[in-house]
Structure 1
Amino acid sequence: MNATDLPDQSTTVVIGAGAVGCSVAYHLTELGADDVTVVDQGPLPVTGGSSVHAPGIMFQTSPSKVQTKAAYYTSRFLSDIGTYDEVGGIETARSEERMDFLRRRFEWATSYGLPDPELLSPEEVGERLPLVDEEEILGGYYSPTDGRVDGIETLQWYIENTPANFVGDTEVVDLEVSNGEITSVVTDKGRIDCDRCVIATNNWGYQTGQLAGLDLPIAPVEHQYVVTEPMEELADADSAVGDNTAGLDVPGNRAIQEYMSEGPNRPVGRDQDHSLYFRTHGDALGMGSYNHEALSVDPEEMGRNSEDQQSSVRGFTKKHWERPTHPDRDKSAKQAFDELLPASADQEYAVTENGIFVFTPDGMPAVGPTAQVDGLWTALAIWWTHSAGYGRIVAEWMENGVPRLPSGPVDSGGIHVRRFEPHAGEKDFFVDRGAKRYEQVYSIVEPRWQPDDHRGLRTSPFYEQQRDLGAEFVQSGGWESAQYYESNADLVDRYEDQIPEQDGWQGINRSPVQGAEHLHTREHVSMFDMTTFSSIMVSGEGSGEFLQRVCSNDMDIEEGKVRYSLLLNEGGGILADVTVVRLGDEEYMVTTGGGNSPRIHGSWLEEHAPETVSVHVEEGAKSTIGLWGPKSRLLLQRCTDADVSNDGFPYFSAKQMYVGEVPVIALRVSYVGELGWELWTPSEYGRRLWETLWEAGQDLDVRPMGGGALESMRLEKGFRLWGTDIDTDSNPFEAGLPFAVDMETDFIGKDALEAAKEEGIDSRITPLTLDDSTDIALSGRPVLKDGEAIGYVQAGDYGYTIGESIAYTYVPSEHAEAGTDVQIRCEGELYDATVREEPLFDPGREKIIR
């Protein structure tokens, strides 16, 4: 269609006709959606966005499973439609640290199912990439299904093969919202009434969100790329430059699109030590660079195409190519390329550009339904590499309620647009964080790395006490959370023989104090700041029936009782694990974890609640202390008149009571497998709650405890962590949580679980322990049986109480029997491991219910 054919009504409107918008539209119609319209401000197919100025290089391997899966789906999809050059991809190492990193990439590829990854010698790299100086490198990593996508050809294919309305040269000027729902997309050519809308404008994502009152944290950044004149060393390659865009309306410099449409005849390459990548364009060489200071673009000033300029391309800044301006690199892009690819040193450039693309504060995509506007979806911060995959994921989510690929459901917690903390939409914040992510694109980011900027934004009432106790803070969901406390350093000597050293990559940003806090809590009593966790108050007529509908467990509980349950999507995937407390006849408190949990889980409950039920997400409204350890009852009883004996306050019950003068909702639950309570109070009482417990427990050797100890303790006990062990890619039976499901009740996802049981559960979570090592197995590393990958590490830590290194993994059911011998590959080492029964600690629950 053309601009004069703009419809006045369409069931679904996709804004943006680039790689992602076209993919969403195609996959929606493939799944049966009717009446889809795609609009773009630029001409079709050369819209002027990053999809047409990008060189199209696709490296699929990532430490993120969902990113790797989305990339592999994309490469297979594009290969099937004939717009993908599967020439392979080679990443080189110029340092020992980078060679170690490439071994990690090999392990991630093995874990997530990329075919035939290889580690290469310098000579093997040179055989595949003759322009590379073998003397400059230590080796390489090769993924044979990596390659390059022809962006313009692919967009043309989508437009010709998608039964949807495509309308170019049409600017969206408003998004109309009524009663919290999207109602229409207003363009400069007219209004389109709609039921659903997808924002897929990428570089313009922030601006488009603003039309609906959303502060989407989408930060545009400039990026450099050059293409040489034809080179003698590549003279044997054919070239169609001059004909690639014939007959197309091309904004700005046509030469950019001409060369980007010219395919490679050799593997695409990366020199991540210097933040560089490269590929051939027929008989010319293209070179891209992140090796410069972040050149952030005001997200409100992206602009439009003009006769002379493509809207997502800025003028080439020569100084950033020839001078070392990147804060972590000591050579410029040109210097590094001259060394690695000597033939490029004296070449003239036929094309130069500073192209724009975007980053979120954590560097991951922003997809899914928005919390603020029903029917409004996002598909943003996505590159060509993952475009078809995320188009399929979003389409499945919209049509069937389940984010998935043909290979199965995907974990959505780390990509959900609702994950961002309340302050993330402030422009200075997300532009700064986006710039940092740009700098880190090819950096080796250490385990547990923490940003320096925008710290101290969200602090609990205990923050001053924690700081005085030497808390090592990490930022999680914007909160400052203590990982461990230097005031507990004396405990390291006490438990020295039970705390093995962690060397190498596993030991970076890790302290033995974490192990000491773990062991102390098992023997004495500790206080853990749970303020990042959130309560969700559910009340009003029909509250019980509502919770029964959304919770997988039986919610017919008495007042003062606590029940663990799951929230499931329509496919039976785990949206959340929650604790439900019945406080009154029609009053409940639902507790969920920290980080992105309250925004994802709370908004899901809000949108499913009937009019008679109030759902109030109390993120930050309550401060909470986990009081855990065998002496926790003695300490708590000193501070309250309430009966906290086992008979008077049994496990999985709750009381509204006082701790000193402080009103609390006390839950007899423990996330560490010890006797203990969660004490929830309004935030203004938090400081006094800490002081009361702290002063009363000095003779009991009460100590603060950080998140490092929490992680190792919960793994010993086998307690799940949403977003790590469980997510929307697993169902309760696979996740070992059948006790949280009552199939006699009706709940969202029940039909899918019944079907899963009927088909048979072919994957199960299980703990492994390393046979002869105290090293920690890191997440994402492959679990092998007879040399074949059967799973990967979901979470790993050292179990200081049981004296063994623990790794949790999902494996095929036939390998889940206790005693099965397996291996784990981590940091280039192969570790023997054994499948174990869970829980590894206190299987009789004697500690927790005493």
Structure 2
Amino acid sequence: MSAKDLPSSAETVVVGGGAVGCSVAYHLSELGAEDIVVVDQGPLPVTGGSSVHAPGIMFQTSPSKIMTKTAYYTSRLLSEAGVYDEVGGIEVARSDERMDFLQRRVENARAYGLPDPQLLDPEEVADRLPLVDPDRIQGGYYSPTDGRVDGIGALQWYTEHTNATFVGKTEVLDIDVSGGQVRSVETDRGRIDCERCVMATNNWGYQTGRLAGLDLPIAPVEHQYVVTEPLEALSEAGSSVGSHTSDLEVPGDRNIQEYMSEGPTLPVGRDQDHSLYFRNHGDALGMGSYNHETLSVDPTSMGKNTEDRQASVRGFTREHWERPTHPDRDTSAKQAFDELLPDSVDAEYAVTENGIFVFTPDGMPAVGPTTTDGLWSALAIWWTHSGGYGRIVAEWMENGVPRLPSGPVDTGGVHVRRFEPHAGEPGYFVDRGATQYRQVYSIVEPRWQPEDHRGLRRSPFYSQQEALGANFVQSGGWESAQWYESNADLVERYADEIPDQEGWQAINRSPIEGAEHLHTRDAVSMFDMTSFSSIVVEGEGSGAFLQRMCSNDVDIDVGQVRYSLLLNEGGGILADVTVVRIDDDEYVVTTGGGNSPGIHGEWLREHAPDTVAVHVEEGARTTVGLWGPKSRLLLQRCTDADVSRSGLPYFRSKRLFVGEVPVLALRVSYVGELGYELWAPAEYGQRLWETLWEAGRDLDVRPMGGGALESMRLEKGYRLWGTDVDTDSNPYEAGLPFAVDTDTDFVGKEALEAAREDGIENRITPITLDDSTDILLSGRPVLHGGEAVGYVQAADFGYSIGESVAYTYLPSDLAEAGTAVQVLCEGETYDATVRDEPLFDPSRERILR
């Protein structure tokens, strides 16, 4: 419902009346929420944001499960609403490398449930898309449910089918978040008191965040789009241009909205080898280009609508269309289109624009609760995924569980709290956004690493690691070693146990990773865990608080350590943590690095009572993982404390000195070997490394990188949050029932018990390849009887067991040892077998020695 008057109060205010804001409001209404107000600075429905200047093309397939799932949900929702043209989508290939990429498209689509993905030969592409010259391509990928959304029509549909009040021409001037709680939204037409506020302003996301005191890394960029005059080759399609927006207020060039409202009759297309996409607008041809240098927009000055222009549309820059300015392309957009679509060669352009949209530093959306109570983010989302993310945010707000109708979703990679402390600095996120723009249609190699803004966060061991030839990768801003060139001599020692890897799977991988794995099993290694985080929970009632937050029984003795989970209200795994009791009212909760501190630390902090303090010690402590059969001997050389099997048993902790360094030692190991985590104040870190290193020289102590950690934890069956487990799985599905004590009362218990009563439909299980040593890749379909029944969550080679290992969730009746399955990866079908876990040391003799 549209309204002229601005309400003075509402339970929920949605800032932004475009695709995402409307979707959030619609889904909140569907879930029973009332008293919702949607405000936008532009007229409704033609707001002046990217929702109305976009051509509406929707390609659903992505290497990301959540992006594919949200796209498919969006296409189904908008199709039922009658505002979606399901004409199919075709991505063409002009190179062997791109054909390989399109095979990956098929595999991702099958893994994540898109219907009937197909590879086409050039003639089959031309049959469906007769504008394409088949002699210019090697083939194509066809997804029959891809298509185009009518942007203005969809916004009108949302308005008519939502119980929210929509108010246009209302500029938001401030968001009052006093006392850590959202209080009101201040506009140029008055104040709206509210309990919840959703930021859904996309291009203005950074500016909106600043109104609430947040630095959200939302980088606006321009890209180009043109629509030709009518073409003879499309004359049969006809046209209704001129009648779509006649009764609407349209800022700027009305022709843009007219042509964007004209639907396609042919499949939508992409030529990613040249960063291009296209569709017909009735009898005209629309062509979009990322094939130019990144045109970043100052995130602080997006501006407003004027009589002459739409706020998110800039003037067309012909040089970027006609000259090759993209750093990775040697052909201009026009030249590439002329080759692929010969009918466009001499066509005049009826519409031209440089339209603005946004990227985050990692190219993923920013959704979910912010660090301010009641303030939500729904940013960096395209039309393609808008329906799905609107549903996810609404479910999250109303029921505490991010989900789609198909079930809970994994949110670690899209959570607004995932960003590192430095990510909100404009110079950083604008540059990283530019990189994402540059790569949007590029073939990005596995384990690719950025080159800019490196060395931001370095552990105290960095200089030693650098001297040892560390191959650094960046994770959460930290420089973390993947392997060490100083260990190259180990490759010859273990040559018979390290199979060669070839092709796509071998890129940015080294046999040294396997050698470090095997050496750790034989001797002793040091692993830099500084990027991992500790969370101190202390104060009166801290034990009872953690008991409520943890799924396991954490009523433990001082010095005891317990593995547990943090669950959301739906029983999904929000984190796996290690809880250490330091004193009567003091605990240390350890968790991973990357996005863990922001997501997990804030979850504990926002639930803590007034008597309990939660301190996220990101970077305050440094940690060495000391692992391997000789680790006890090495540690005992450096300390007067008793670290024997009885003096420091498994899953116990002890304060001790390593040399002069004060350390909290945990008798735990993430690699399935005898070992310790040694936590120390960061300023002591360098001395900690030096002390252990010197004491272990005669024991052949070696540094160990993240590659070895991954293969060791997989063959041992240890879970990794954000990869094997996330909010889309519960502990029973994830094979972690030992981390649940139903005799205690914890967040998510009721939902978890209901799920167990209903029956666990899917369970995680390891599979091994029957006759291949190839390393599989994540997101590839696992098949049974020719049908996709799961997909690869994580995979590596198990050097200690001599088999290629993958983890997948399978229907419970298939997740039984001995079940034969297949995996489709890089166009090859691999035979595999379901196995019992753990694959390595099932008796736990090595870790308990």
**TM-fit CA distance, 1:471:** 0.3
1:168 shift after superposition: 0.1
1:797 is paired with a residue whose SS is: strand
State the alpha-carbon separation in 2 of the partners of residues 157 and 455 from structure 1.
46
1:47-94 CA-to-partner distances (Å, cap 9, x unmatched) read 000000000000000000000000000000000000000000000000
Q: Which residue of 1 aligns with 2:731?
A: 732
1:28 has 2:40 as partner: no
Give the aligned partner of residue 50 of structure 1. 50
Q: Provide the residue aligned with 1:471 in structure 2.
A: 470
Distance 1:360 1:762 in 2: 35
Query: Which residue number in structure 2 is paired with residue 843 of structure 1?
Result: 842
Give 1:153's aligned amino acid.
G
CA distance in 2, matches of 1:688, 1:815: 51
Match of 1:301 in 2: 301
- Whether 1:433 aligns to 2:426 is no
Deviations 1:574-603 (A, max 9, x none): 000000000100110000001100110000
Between the aligned partners of 2:761 and 2:181, the Cα distance in structure 1 is: 40
Q: How does 1:380-529 map to 2 (within 5 A)?
A: 380-529=379-528
Distance 1:777 1:786 in 2: 20
Which residue does the alignment assign to 1:266? 266
Q: Note the 1:170-185 alignment, pairs <5 A.
A: 170-185=170-185
Say if 2:2 and 2:159, in contact at 8 Å, map to a contact too: no
Alpha-carbon deviation of 1:5? 1.1
The DSSP-based 3-state class of the residue aligned with 1:22 is: helix
| Structure 1 spans left out of the alignment, 5+ residues | none
Q: Partners in 2 of 1:9 and 1:359 — Cα distance?
A: 33
Structure 2 distance, partners of 1:616, 1:2, is: 45
Matches within 5 A, 1:64-463: 64-371=64-371, 373-463=372-462
1:178, 1:387 → 2: CA distance? 30
Aligned to 1:806: 805
Distance, in Å, in 1 between the alignment partners of 2:235 and 2:509 is 53
Residues 584-636 of structure 1 deviation map (CA, whole Å, 9 limit, x = unaligned): 00110000001100110000000000000010000000000000000000000
Q: 1:760-784 CA deviation, whole Å, 9 max, x = no partner?
A: 0010000000000000110000000
Partners of 2:3 and 2:165 within 8 A in 1: no
CA distance in 2, matches of 1:715, 1:807: 8
Structure 1 outlier segments of 4+, above 2 Å = 1-4
Is 1:107–1:782's contact at 8 Å kept on the other side of the alignment?
A: yes
TM-aligned CA deviation for residue 161 of structure 1: 1.2
Partner Cα separation in structure 2 for residue 753 and residue 616 of structure 1: 29
The superposition leaves residues 803-831 of structure 1 with CA deviations (integer Å, 9 ceiling, x where unpaired) of: 00000000000001100000000000000
Q: Which residue of 2 aligns with 1:708?
A: 707
**Distance across 2 between alignment mates of 1:447 and 1:381:** 24
Are the counterparts in 2 of residues 265 and 280 from structure 1 also a CA contact under 8 Å?
Answer: yes
Q: Which amino acid aligns with 1:482?
A: A
Secondary structure at 2:808 match in 1: strand
1:637 corresponding residue in structure 2: 636
Aligned counterparts of 1:646 and 1:307: Cα–Cα separation in 2: 78
> 1:30 Cα deviation (Å)?
0.6
Counterpart for residue 650 of structure 2: 651
Residue of structure 2 equivalent to 1:628: 627
Give the number of equivalent residue pairs.
849
Whether 1:40 aligns to 2:40 is yes
Cα offset, 1:4, TM superposition = 4.0
Structure 2 equivalent of residue 580 of structure 1: 579
Kindly indicate whether the alpha-carbon contact (under 8 Å) linking 1:54 and 1:260 is maintained by their aligned counterparts in 2. Answer: yes
User: Cα distance, 1:238 vs. partner?
Assistant: 2.0
Q: 1:822-845 CA deviation, whole Å, 9 max, x = no partner?
A: 000000000000000000000000
Letter in 2 for 1:83: V
Matched-pair contact (CA < 8 Å) for 1:411–1:727: yes
Pairing 1:675-754 to 2, within 5 Å after superposition:
675-754=674-753
1:557 corresponding residue in structure 2: 556
Aligned residue for 2:813, secondary structure, equals helix
SS at match of 2:845: coil
- Paired letter, 1:504: G
Deviation at 1:246, TM superposition (A): 1.1
CA separation in 2, counterparts of 1:581 and 1:677? 14
Q: Does 1:540 align with 2:530?
A: no
Which runs of no fewer than 5 residues in structure 2 stay unpaired?
none
TM-score, with structure 2 as normaliser: 1.00
What is the match of residue 661 of structure 2? 662
- What TM-score do the two structures reach when normalised by structure 1? 1.00
1:235-270 per-position Cα deviation (integer Å, ceiling 9, x unaligned)? 001210000111100000000000000000000000
- 1:160 deviates by 1.2
Judge conservation of contact 2:42–2:170 (CA < 8 Å) in 1: yes
1:2 is displaced (CA, Å) by: 5.7
Work out whether residues 411 and 727 of structure 2, in 8 Å CA contact, stay in contact via their aligned partners in 1.
yes
- Residue 78 to residue 566, structure 1, CA distance change in 2 (3 Å): same
Q: Is the 8 A contact 1:3 1:169 kept in 2?
A: no
Could you tell me how far apart the structure 2 residues matched to 1:29 and 1:157 are?
14
Amino acid at match of 2:91: E
Aligned counterparts of 2:164 and 2:177: Cα–Cα separation in 1: 24
Contact 1:119/1:141, CA 8 A, preserved across alignment: yes
- DSSP-derived class of the 1:709 partner: helix
**Mapped contact 1:3–1:170 kept (Cα < 8 A):** no
The letter of the residue matching 2:709 is L
Partner of 1:18: 18
For residues 98 and 33 of structure 2, the distance between their equivalents in structure 1, rounded to whole angstroms, comes to 46
Q: How well do the aligned residues superpose, as a CA RMSD in angstroms?
A: 0.5
Q: Supply the distance in 2 between the matched residues of 1:2 and 1:494 (Cα, whole angstroms).
A: 73
1:614 aligns with 2:618: no
Whole-Å separation in 2 of the counterparts to 1:363 and 1:115: 25
CA distance in 2, matches of 1:649, 1:218: 48
Partner of 2:590: 591
Q: Letter of the 2:339 partner, please give it.
A: E
Check conservation: 1:450, 1:474, Cα contact below 8 A: yes
AA aligned to 1:462 is: F
CA distance in 2, matches of 1:743, 1:637: 39
Q: CA deviation at 1:25?
A: 0.3
Question: How far does the alpha carbon of each residue in 1:83-140 deviate from its partner, in whole angstroms, 9 at most, with x for none?
Answer: 0000000000000000000000000000000001101011100100001000111110
For 2:756 and 2:178, the matched residues in 1 are separated by 42
Describe the SS at the equivalent of 1:493.
helix
SS class of match (2:720): coil
Find the aligned partners of 1:23 and 1:821 in 2 and give their Cα distance.
Answer: 42
Q: Distance in 1 between matches of 2:245 and 2:307?
A: 16
AA in 1 matched with 2:242? G
State the Cα deviation string for residues 160-188 of structure 1 (Å, max 9, x = none).
Answer: 11101100000000011111100000000
Structure-2 separation of matches of 1:628 and 1:205: 45
Rounded to whole Å, the distance in 2 between the matches of 1:341 and 1:501 is: 43
Counterparts of 1:209 and 1:583 in 2: how far apart (Å)?
Answer: 38
| 1:305 positional shift | 0.1
Structure 1 position 354, deviation (Å): 0.1
Query: What is the alpha-carbon distance in structure 1 between the residues aligned to residue 222 and residue 80 of structure 2?
Result: 32
User: 2:72 and 2:837 mapped to 1: Cα distance?
Assistant: 34
Amino acid in the other structure paired with 2:821: V
Partner deviation per Cα, 1:471-503 (whole Å, 9 max, x = no partner): 000000000000000000000000011111110
Deviations 1:695-715 (A, max 9, x none): 000000000000000000000
